[in-house]
Amino acid sequence: MNDSAVASNVSVKKRKTDSSVSPSSTSASKIFSPYRSIGNITNNVPFAIGTLGKTYYIVTSVGNFFQVYDALTLNLLFVSKTFLPSKITNIYCHYHYIFVTYQNKINIYKRGSLIISLDSKLDSNYPINNLLTFGDYLIVSNSNNQISLFKKPVSIDQNDEIIKNNTNFQDLLKLPIKFYNTINLSNANSDDLIVKIIHPSTYLNKLIIATTSHILIYNIKTINLIFKSNLNSIFSRTEQDTSQRNKNYLGAISTVENSTVLDIILIATNLGNLIFYDFRKDKVLKIIKTYSRKSGPSNLTPITSLAFRSDSFPHLLIAFKNGNLSVFDLNSFQQIYLLQSVHKQSFGGISNVKFLNGQPIFITNGADNQLKEYIFDPSFSSNNEKAINDSSLVPLPRLLRSRAGHSAPPTSILFTAHQSHFILSASTDNSFWSFSLRKDSQNQKLSFKQSKKNKKIMNINNSNNSNDHNNEIISMDYQILKEDDWDNILTAHKNQNFANTWSFKNKKIGNFKLQSSDNSNINTVKISSCGNFAFLGTANGNIDVYNLQSGILRKKFKLHKNSVTGIIIDSMNNKMCSTSLDGYIGFYNFRNSKYLSKINLESPITKIVYNPISELLGLALDDLSIIIIDFETKRIIRQLFGHTNRITSLDFSPDGRWIVSSSLDSTLRVWDLPTGNCIDGFKISNIITNLKFSPNGDFLATSHVNGNGISLWNNKSQFKMISVRHVSEKDFKLIDVPNNTSAGGLGIIDSAFDNDNQDNDDSLNSYSTVDQISKDLLTLSIGPRSKFNTLLNLDTIKQRNKPKEPPKKSEKAPFFLYETEDKSQNITSNGKSEKIEKLVSTENQNSDNNNNNSEKIPSLTNPERPLKFFNNENTLAFESKFTKTLRECSVLDDYTIFLDLISTSSPSSLDLEIKSLNTKDSSLSEIKLFVKAMIHGLNSNKNFELYQALINLLLKNHGDLISSSLNDEQELESLLDELNRINNEKTNRIDELIRVSASIVNFFQT
């Protein structure tokens, strides 16, 4: 194909669609509804442990919502049903109840459902940083050294603004929801901030407040300060009354914890020191400098959390900000184990560590999105008593179970096979994960560790590549074929000149590092549908083709002068195309390694996607447009405009009918390709960076600028019809990203129809099939085809359904049953039944006695009466609705009502009515009226084949009578001539249309 010819068709064939003008939309999104998110486990907020009898549960914070795990299995139990306006700052558990703070608010939940929301009465400019409940009290403090206390109410006033419209009265009576008092420490040193609040064990109404340099004890019932520590010698940077540096300075207090011994608390500092302190005697019992040991943490490492083991072993866990975890023996005051890099130092290390009460299991969490459970296995010693006495004789705690995800927002996501339920995800933290849509326990991190055999293969094939470090993944591809034979995942890494192969089956890095032939960085990768070839697009515009089995370079393509941004190859390994920042899309014959043509789109191409079913290519350009190209004809068929900022991602629906795009303008748009309309869209505060349709179209997966998880959106079109009406950006509404459960605990179908009352599209639901598109168009009957077929062959059908044998006479009934005779009504000599005689006499009597009743009981001679008992010859006769309507319409000369009656009548009733037309009348008045009705029907261009059947039935039953009466009835003859003329005109028109259509079909077939 000529390049210039193809390029010249750009302006002619492209179709622009501007989404700035459209009817208004009434729903947030008519196609997608938030379902759930995966990969979100925890953040830097310390987790909380709750107890329900002998079972434990763990509550973690994930931004604006929390989630609850079973402590014994780490299975997700439930998630808070609503998003909070801001991020959670503290979590505390008490039996069934979960206390959550954000800003200056306190929310109390039960099984994820909000019971009540309280105002902390603190300064709203300072967030709450501590939360504690014990006894009848709830205590919160903020970063301005202000403390609020709440107490359980004795009774509930339903007129209270907080309680009004709240139906959880039984729960409210058990909760400290009544504001009690405040404690203000703001007069103290501005640097002496509240660090932690704890309740000393066995003490009534006492509260320990730890600041950065003091330990304070308050009586919360009387709000009196009853004790203040004298620890300036170790917690003050300078010596008292001098400006000299304090040599005994141990650092500022970072956290405190109740020990297992009464009256003793453990104080930790930001320099890694531990102080055992007896607050009853105001005495320092022991100081441990953890950094002084060679095997200990680095110098000046802050301690973030402490935990005492509560079973038979006197162990202390010390969590550090560098991610290390130290196990101390309290008998010998020695460190027995050091677990390094339990959590990532770059994300603040360990946020919290806690033992399960009475069990050798402890739990940790951190801002690196990891929740871990460790266990101390039973001692190796055969003498358990000896092991208890010597607490250092314990094995190294091992990882029991964990839940984790990315520590940073994902950069690339990809669904695996059609029937699979896994999503491959890469992140800026250089991790590579496989997430399951069904079960969190199936999530797995792909390993970068290589076997010795793989290292040898890589050294042979990449002898010139000295950089073995893997940066973040910027492009990846997956193919299920050959998964059991060799590597089937290919990844490109930021600022690196090689691509890695991976094995999805083994969940680890593969055999080869495929290096670019021009030694430039690789920006995009692709695997052929057969699973044999790996395509690498480089920053210099080259395309290298490797064999995945052997890792050998097989082909090279050079067309572009700038970085390659995408490579596409069809399922037959025949057609291939590539895009680049130089604005060109190139087409190749891959089998013959031949360049075919290119199209200049006059703008850098940043993204490309391909749908194999429709063979369409979708391209995102720097001019904020989306181009749709037919891969077969290499022509532009659509150009879609609407985004106002750079397009971040796009993808086809599995059937190729839609293309979904996201942009830095915070919108997601759905484009209907047959119409070119933007049929749906919404705004999202968390900008979408990647989106992918699942292979069967039931989910849309998105990753975002903020957040470590992957959001799943339910596709409503799986369950109901979607209108293709055009929508505009002014109708887009803001939607929150999904949380970790399906729309607050709903299932897939429930979440799809959750907002169904808002998602109803008037233009879709109010549509009904019209009887006739235009009065000028000849329209067939909208009724069933069998109706007029039955009408034409009703006699044959009756003959076929006639019984073969006469009905048998019933046997004589037994003597104990009475025989009932079917006595016919006696007919008088006039031919009238006794019942009718009685009816006539009764009616005449009522008419004579009471004139007022004549209005209620119509006269038998009233012409408007639908049923006439007698005709003029005083014989029994009836007038059906059919003949009555025909007669009334003839008076108005409008047969519309009569024709509507015909169209709704059954074939058997129509046959009976036509056969029952009055033929004894010498003028054949009813037949004339029926012919007039048929003329009116043919002129209306409706129910054409039905009227043909009725005319056929009329002539079949009364044709001989009509033929013999034509000489005497000139009016009837003129009516039949008019009917024949109109009928010939209509049938000739149909014949002409059929002949034209048949000739066109034959032309295309030949």
d(CA 315, CA 331) in angstroms, rounded, equals 8
pLDDT computed for residue 749 by the predictor: 58
**Contacts for 450-457: CB closer than 8 Å, 24+ residues apart:** 450/508, 450/509, 454/509, 454/510, 454/511, 457/511, 457/512, 457/551
How far apart, in whole angstroms, are the C-alpha atoms of residue 737 and residue 83?
A: 9
Query: Between the ranges 191-195, 654-658, 792-796, where is the mean pLDDT highest?
Result: 654-658
pLDDT at position 299: 59
> How many Cβ atoms from other residues are within 10 Å of residue 394's Cβ?
23
Residue 502 sits at the vertex; the CA angle it makes with 433 and 535, to the nearest 5 degrees, is 115
DSSP annotation string for 187-204: TS-TT--EEEEE--TT-S
Given pLDDT bands bounded at 50, 70 and 90, which one contains residue 904? Answer: confident
Q: What is the pLDDT of residue 902?
A: 86
pLDDT band at 838 (very low <50, low <70, confident <90, very high): very low
Categorize the per-residue pLDDT at 868 as very low, low, confident or very high, splitting at 50, 70 and 90: very low
Q: Which SS3 state, helix, strand or coil, does residue 185 take?
A: coil
Asked if pLDDT for residue 764 goes beyond 60, the answer is no
| Residue indicated by tokens 């549908």 | 529
How far apart are alpha carbons 650 and 670 in whole angstroms?
Answer: 10
Q: Which of 405, 435, 429 is nearest to 694 (CA)?
A: 435
Residue indicated by tokens 């790996």:
534
| Sign of the torsion formed by the C-alpha atoms of 46, 52, 56 and 60 | negative
pLDDT tens per residue, range 245-277: 556 778 889 999 999 999 999 999 988 899 999
Task: Give the whole-angstrom CA distance, residue 721 versus residue 518.
Answer: 51
CA–CA dist 117, 163 (Å, integer): 10
Per cent of the chain over pLDDT 70 is 80
Q: How many CB atoms lie within 10 A of CB 787?
A: 18
Residue whose structure tokens are 């960076």: 689
Mean pLDDT of 897-904: 88
Q: Are 583 and 600 in contact (CB under 8 A)?
A: yes
CATH class for the domain made up of 431-462+469-600: mainly beta
Q: What is the mean pLDDT of residues 810-828?
A: 54
Q: Please state, in angstroms and rounded to a whole number, the distance separating the CA atoms of residues 284 and 269.
A: 14
Which residue's entry shows tokens 């005319």? 951
Q: Residue 214 corresponds to which tokens in the numbers above?
A: 């003091």
CA distance 549 to 243: 72
DSSP letter string, 458-526: HHHHTTT--------EEEEEE-STTTTTS--EEEEETT-SEEEEEETTTTEEEEEEEE-TT-PPEEEEE
Are 318 and 59 spatial neighbours (Cβ–Cβ below 8 Å)? no
Give the three-state DSSP class for 228: strand
Spatial contact of 497 and 529, defined as CB atoms under 8 Å apart: no
For residues 95 and 99, give the distance between their C-alpha atoms in angstroms, rounded to a whole number. 11
Q: What is the pLDDT of residue 540?
A: 94
What residues contact residue 303 under an 8 Å CB cut-off, 6+ apart? 254, 255, 268, 269, 270, 272, 273, 274, 290, 318, 319, 320, 321
Strands of 528-614, DSSP E? 533-538, 542-547, 553-558, 564-569, 575-580, 584-589, 594-600, 605-611
Amino acid identity for residue 1006 in this structure:
T
d(CA 61, CA 53): 23
Lookup: tokens for 70: 């079973």
The mean pLDDT of 913-927, rounded to a whole number, is: 84
Sheet holding 522-527, edge to edge: 522-527, 533-538, 542-547, 553-558
CA nearest to 555, candidates 569, 568, 538, 542: 542
Of residues 1004 and 635, more confidently modeled: 635
The architecture of the domain spanning 1-39+605-760 is 7 Propeller (2.130)
Q: Give ranges for CATH 2.130.10.10 in the chain.
A: 1-39+605-760, 41-187, 296-403, 431-462+469-600
pLDDT for 403 equals 94
Q: How far is CA 909 from CA 791, 912, 929, 959, in A?
A: 10, 5, 18, 20
Half-sphere exposure of 281 (CA within 13 A, CB side): 9
Least confident of 144-148, 447-451, 854-858, 906-910: 854-858
Domain topology for 41-187: Methylamine Dehydrogenase; Chain H (2.130.10)
How is residue 927 written in tokens? 């037949």
Phi and psi, residue 238, nearest 5°: -115, 155
pLDDT score of 767 more than 50: yes
Residue 157 scores a pLDDT above 80: no
987 CB contacts (<8 Å, ≥6 apart)?
Answer: none
- Min mean pLDDT across 73-77, 727-731, 779-783 is at 779-783
In angstroms, the CA 613 to CA 601 distance is 24
The percentage of residues in the chain with a pLDDT greater than 90, rounded to a whole number, is 47
* Mean of all residue pLDDT scores within the chain: 82
Which of 92-101, 694-703, 808-817 bottoms out in mean pLDDT, i.e. has the lowest?
A: 808-817
pLDDT (tens digit per residue) in 359-409: 999 999 999 999 999 999 887 544 555 555 565 678 899 999 999 999 999
Strands 710-715 and 315-320: unpaired
pLDDT value at position 2? 44
Other beta carbons within 10 Å of 290 = 24
- pLDDT for position 563: 95
Type of residue at 325: L
Quick: pLDDT tens for 47-77: 999 999 889 999 999 988 999 999 999 999 9
β-sheet bridge partners, residue 677: 672
Residue 25 DSSP class:
P
- More confident position, 234 or 202: 202
Q: What is the DSSP letter of 345?
A: G
Characterize the bridge pairing of strands 677-684 and 90-94: unpaired
Specify whether the CB–CB gap between 103 and 126 falls below 8 A: no
Which tens digits make up the pLDDT trace of 82-141? 888 899 999 999 989 999 999 999 999 998 889 999 999 998 889 999 999 998 999 999
Q: How far apart are CA 778 and CA 73, in angstroms?
A: 71
> In this predicted model, which residue has the larger pLDDT, 792 or 850?
792
Identity of residue 713: W
| Distance between CA atoms of residues 284 and 16, nearest Å | 78
For 182, other C-beta atoms within 10 Å of its C-beta total 13
CATH architecture of 296-403: 7 Propeller (2.130)
Q: Give mean pLDDT, residues 456-478.
A: 67
Write the DSSP string, 406-452.
-SS-EEEEEE-STT--EEEEEETTS-EEEEESS-GGG-EEPB----H
User: Is the separation of the CB atoms in 324 and 297 below 8 Å?
Assistant: yes
Tell me the whole-structure pTM to 2 decimals.
0.72
Q: In the sheet that 273-278 helps form, which strands lie side by side, from edge to edge? A: 253-258, 264-269, 273-278, 283-289
Helices and strands of the chain, counted as H and E runs: 19, 58
Closest-CA residue to 75 (of 549, 504, 385, 402): 402
